[in-house]
Structure 1
Amino acid sequence: MATDGQILRLAQWLSPAYPVGAFAYSHGLESAVATGAVADGAALTDWLADILRFGAGRSDTIFLRAAYEAPPEDLPRIDALACAFQPSAERRTETTAQGAAFARVTAAVWPDDLPDFTYPVALGRAARLHDLPLGLTARLNLQAFLSNLVSAGIRLIPIGQTEGQRVLTALQPLCEEVAGLALTETLDDLAGTSFLADIASMTHETQYSRLFRT
């Protein structure tokens, strides 16, 4: 069972106040809203559910687990695979920039020997260094990932704060399910079939008017 200190450490790392710049990224959602593919809370719920099941929700959890369990000499290989797995230039920036920021801040505060890895690899390695429970780390990371995208949806669609909380609440059981399954999988099980979200991240690169970096 996780201790109060472990829970609070993860809450700090995954809080919007932790300066990784997550607020600047929409994971392609801005493009999906601009094209009308996501126009209300129900559509946002469906969009995010697919990202959880078939996209970065699942794959990032696999990378997180691999980094958590790997010896230090294997981390560069895992990180290179995490970079190669990104479907677009913007998505690569999203994971590398947030990972570098997380590593930089975490190493400065504690300090840790934490290179500038992609975000799930950096988080997985940091959790291992701090002896934080893998399952709790994975679940809270997915919750934080969803919270950030729901916040983006609130601003972009727009939907109200209360509707945003309904979306997040509706997705919590799936968040637990995806994390639980992904934690039983290895890098050999990696796959990505959230094609519309991937295409949205590509079209966002040339979108004329943008609030978000991705």
Structure 2
Amino acid sequence: MTASLTLMQWLSPAFPVGAFAYSHGLEQVIADGTVQDARSLQDYLEALVTQGSGRADAILLAAAYATDDLGHVDATARAFAASAERLRETDLQGAAFCNTARAVWGLDLHGLTYPVAVGAAARAMDIPLGNTLPLYLHAFASNLVSVAQRALPLGQTDGQTVLAALAPAIADTAGAAQTTPLDALTSTSFAADIAAMRHETLQPRIFRT
């Protein structure tokens, strides 16, 4: 029970990684009109979770959980970041996670990218990977739903409907990530990656990435 509560605390919006400040490029596709309602938001987030950066993060988290060589996994995560702001996002959130995990739980974590830090922390605390992966992806999707609610005329009920509809994709992606080797790390959400690059110069903008 304590392990589950710790995991929920790590992935809560209250945990100080600053996730609320990042749109992961979603602000750009909203500005473009690609995402404009609950249906298009659900489609966009499902693509990220199953084919894009959400899936990649899950594979990186699982690899970090399974290895004693965090440096290799972290270097892979940095090399895989599709844009300067995507790299800054995972770097700053990961550093913030490490700082808090070190201060509160005494974990010897320093300067890791976000999914690598969470995977390493879960292993150190004996939190099962099978619990960590779906909750990490759920937090990823939940944060982006929150972004959409601040940038679109999207109500609370619609936002929760989108998040509930993503549950099967989150569960499937999390399950597959447990057995996907790091060498199989891929992403096919090119439009989302390009949106993140374009978002670096979007004016005006509210969010990072």
Instruction: Sort the TM-score into its range (normalised by shorter chain).
Output: over 0.9
After superposition, the CA RMSD in angstroms is 0.6
Q: Distance in 1 between matches of 2:204 and 2:162?
A: 26
Q: Equivalent residue for 1:39?
A: 36
Q: Once the 2 structures are TM-superposed, how far is the Cα of residue 57 of structure 1 from its aligned partner?
A: 1.3
Q: Distance in 1 between matches of 2:18 and 2:31?
A: 22
Structure 1 counterpart of 2:94, from 99, 111, 117: 99
Q: Equivalent residue for 1:116?
A: 111
Q: Distance in 2 between matches of 1:205 and 1:47?
A: 19
Count of matched residue pairs? 209
Structure 2 counterpart of 1:207, from 196, 202, 209: 202
1:69-84 → structure 2 map (5 Å cutoff): 69-71=66-68, 74-84=69-79
Q: Distance in 2 between matches of 1:45 and 1:195?
A: 17
Q: Which amino acid aligns with 2:173?
A: V
Q: Which amino acid aligns with 1:53?
A: T
1:129-148 → structure 2 map (5 Å cutoff): 129-148=124-143
Q: Once the 2 structures are TM-superposed, how far is the Cα of residue 208 of structure 1 from its aligned partner?
A: 0.9
Q: Distance in 2 between matches of 1:27 and 1:183?
A: 24
Q: Once the 2 structures are TM-superposed, how far is the Cα of residue 106 of structure 1 from its aligned partner?
A: 0.7
Q: Which amino acid aligns with 1:185?
A: T
Asked if 1:63 is matched to 2:60, the reply is: yes
Q: Equivalent residue for 1:26?
A: 23
Flag structure 1 segments of 5+ consecutive residues without an equivalent: none
Q: Equivalent residue for 1:172?
A: 167
Q: Equivalent residue for 1:53?
A: 50
Q: Once the 2 structures are TM-superposed, how far is the Cα of residue 158 of structure 1 from its aligned partner?
A: 2.5
Q: SS in structure 2 opposite 1:206?
A: coil
- Percent identity of paired positions between Structure 1 and Structure 2: 56
Q: Equivalent residue for 2:181?
A: 186
For residues 52-106 of structure 1, what are the alpha-carbon distances to aligned partners after superposition, in whole Å with 9 as ceiling and x for unaligned?
11111111111101111101xx111110110010100111011011000000011
Q: Distance in 1 between matches of 2:91 and 2:130?
A: 23
For residues 29-61 of structure 1, what are the alpha-carbon distances to aligned partners after superposition, in whole Å with 9 as ceiling and x for unaligned?
000000101000000000000001111111111
Q: Distance in 1 between matches of 2:167 and 2:88?
A: 27
Structure 2 counterpart of 1:17, from 9, 14, 17: 14
Q: Which amino acid aligns with 1:182?
A: A
TM-score in terms of structure 2 length: 0.99
Flag structure 2 segments of 5+ consecutive residues without an equivalent: none
Q: Distance in 2 between matches of 1:208 and 1:56?
A: 24
Q: Distance in 1 between matches of 2:172 and 2:138?
A: 12
Asked if 1:89 is matched to 2:77, the reply is: no
Q: SS in structure 2 opposite 1:16?
A: coil
